[in-house]
Amino acid sequence: MTKSSYLKIGIAAAVLAVALALAWWGHRAYKKNELHRDVIALVQDSTSRLQEALGLMTAGVEVRGRLEASFTALQGDVEKLQAMDASLNPPLVRAADAYITDVHALLRRQLATHAGRDAVRADVKEIAEHLRSAGARSADWIKQALTLKQRLDKNYFDYRFAAGGLEKSLRALHDTRKGLEPFVAPTLLIYASLLSSAEKQLLEVSEQLKQQVENARKLPVGG
């Protein structure tokens, strides 16, 4: 083989290597853009569901089905994100995972808070009805009153635990949304003002419930 032949082979090999490298980088760039598009779609879906959920902070039992549907959908969003190739854009995937996971946790805690709140309100109503039905306040009547009070205390404890968790989720989202700001348009993230408004609503509901429980605990059981 002549020197010229070796040179041609070397040039061809170099050209092929460059072509393969360009093809690899081109494919990686395409996959990275695809990842970005898919992550943005999941973030947008999470924000939309979160915005709806925050608007239902003080809603009644009729919205439970909507919250449960969003909770299930967000579980799917978390799983989709975690199945993606994070190596294509680690900072974006980490920030999006923190955000979507926090939104999912908030929905779980909101469901628990609603359930606890509704249970407490039902207990308060039943205690009030029991008081109105009082006659001579027999031993059975007193026993039932004590049972209702004990159930109220348990359900109120469960509510306060759930509400505390929900408050933590609302505070956490202030930070995780900031962590995602460098990678997505601000309009795709929940507004901080909505989180603050939800915190205020939660506090108001908790204060109202506290007063109702304190009033119910005044039920006389003696005499």
CA 189, distance to chain mean position in Å, is: 13
Domain assignment present for residue 222? The answer is: no
What value does the CA radius of gyration of the chain take, rounded to a whole number of Å? 29
Which residues 6+ apart lie within 8 Å of 177 measured at CB? 99, 189, 190, 192, 195
Sign of dihedral through CA atoms 5, 7, 8, 12? positive
Domain assignment present for residue 190? The answer is: yes
The pLDDT score that the predictor gives to residue 131 is: 81
Return per-residue pLDDT of the chain as tens, 223 residues: 565 665 555 565 555 555 555 555 555 567 788 889 999 999 999 999 999 999 999 888 899 999 999 999 999 999 999 999 889 899 999 999 999 999 999 999 999 999 999 999 999 999 888 888 766 677 888 888 889 999 999 999 999 999 999 999 999 999 999 999 999 999 999 999 999 999 999 999 999 999 999 998 876 655 4
The pLDDT score that the predictor gives to residue 223 is: 45
The pLDDT score that the predictor gives to residue 125 is: 92
Residues in the chain: 223
Question: Structure tokens of 151?
Answer: 């159930």
Domain assignment present for residue 125? The answer is: yes
Domain assignment present for residue 74? The answer is: yes
The pLDDT score that the predictor gives to residue 20 is: 54
Alpha helix positions (H), the chain: 3-54, 64-82, 90-132, 139-180, 192-216
Domain assignment present for residue 89? The answer is: yes
Amino acid at 42: L
Cα-Cα-Cα-Cα torsion 31, 37, 40, 46, nearest 10 degrees, comes to -100
Domain count, the chain: 1
What is the DSSP code string of 35-79? HHHHHHHHHHHHHHHHHHHHTTTT--GGGHHHHHHHHHHHHHHHH
Q: Considering the entire predicted model, what is its pTM?
A: 0.82
Contact 134, 222 (CB under 8 A): no
Residue written as token pair 């109120």: 156
What span, in angstroms and rounded, lies between the C-alpha atoms of 117 and 123? 10
The pLDDT score that the predictor gives to residue 218 is: 78
Domain assignment present for residue 159? The answer is: yes
Question: Structure tokens of 58?
Answer: 């003080």
CA 120, distance to chain mean position in Å, is: 23
Distances (CA, A) of 21 to 12, 16, 32, 86: 14, 8, 16, 21
Closest CA to 170 of 137, 140, 150, 192: 192
Residue 70: which domain range? 3-216
Domain assignment present for residue 141? The answer is: yes
Domain assignment present for residue 223? The answer is: no
